[in-house]
Amino acid sequence: MLFALRFAEPIARGEVDLTFRRWKRAQVRPGRPYRTPVGRLQVDEVDVVSPGELQDADARRAGFDSVEAMLAEADKHAAPDAELYRVRFHKLDEPDPRSELAASVPDADDLAAIRRRLDAMDARSAHGPWAWATLAAIAERPAVRAPDLAASFGRETAPFKTDVRKLKELGLTESLAIGYRLSPRGEVVVDKLRGRRRKRPPRPEGAPLPRSIGAPATRALRAAGLTSLESLGAVTEAELSAMHGVGPVAIARLREALADAGLSYRPT
């Protein structure tokens, strides 16, 4: 589930514990945790509701002043025949175990176990060995679009992404706004199991750009040398809006991200 960053604090304080979404079918299931831009959330209940039965108290629990404002947001990108779903959730306080794993340094036993897992993934794959090759491709081509990486293997994008998620579950890769990169754990694994240290690309400094701004906006910002929230202090919002590929949605999400981080654009 996507949430604007303005919801992060109200969710953390427990003031927002509902969200209303227009879906053709439920996209989340009760009892499952989900990673979102505002942290890990546990879904408690999911049900279909009628707009007419909602009250302003429901809207406030979803972070809006009124039912009308809440429904307007839910309707923005909804299909005409989508139903209105009410999702009740709560924030999980414990850190994402995948993030902790990705940041950890593997010891000799870990390396041996990882080697066995990757070898097993290759051995039982119905479409041929992929695990080691995909890890190597991400190491050599960080921040490259998933469709381009998939095409280099002659594969469709969706199943390729599914396989990359398996590497992420092992703590070896991280998702970027565009493409992937090796995690600190993955970098050690590739270096150790190759028997030599690679020349690693520098890891970006500062707060990352929100993934929710979309690929076109991310490419435009990268082309301008703007790779972190801190770097946006070098431009005005008007200059950013004038960039090809940076639309109103991206501007709004960047504005929220800057405010949440206590940062700002260059004054006009």
- SS3 readout for 202-249: CCCCCCECCHHHCHHHHHHHHHCCCCECHHHHHCCHHHHHCCCCCCHH
Q: Token match 């991280």: residue?
A: 174
Would the pLDDT of 94 be above 90?
no
pLDDT reported for residue 138: 94
Locate 249 and state its tokens: 């949605």
How far is Cα 66 from Cα 50, in angstroms, rounded to an integer?
A: 15
Question: 5-91 and 97-194: same fold?
Answer: no
How far is Cα 47 from Cα 43, in angstroms, rounded to an integer?
A: 11
The overall average pLDDT reported for the chain is: 87
CA-based torsion, 23, 27, 33, 34: positive or negative: negative
Domain 5-91 part of CATH 2.30.130.30: yes
How far is Cα 17 from Cα 61, in angstroms, rounded to an integer?
A: 6
Locate 55 and state its tokens: 């009250």
Domain boundaries, the chain: 5-91, 97-194, 211-261
Locate 18 and state its tokens: 């509902």
Residues 224/1/42/179 CA torsion (nearest 10 deg): -40
Among 80-84, 144-148, 166-170, 258-262, the minimum mean pLDDT is found in 258-262
pLDDT reported for residue 263: 83
Question: Of residues 86 and 261, which shows the higher confidence score?
Answer: 86
Please, which residues bridge with residue 175 across strands? Answer: 180
Considering 61-65, 172-176, 213-217, the range whose residues carry the highest mean pLDDT is 61-65
How far is Cα 209 from Cα 119, in angstroms, rounded to an integer?
A: 35
Question: Of residues 237 and 204, which shows the higher confidence score?
Answer: 237
SS3 content of the chain, % helix, strand, coil (to 5): 45, 15, 40
Q: Which residues of 220-236 are buried (b: 16+ CB within 10 A; e: fewer)?
A: bbeeeebbbbebbeebe
Which architecture does CATH list for 97-194?
Answer: Orthogonal Bundle (1.10)
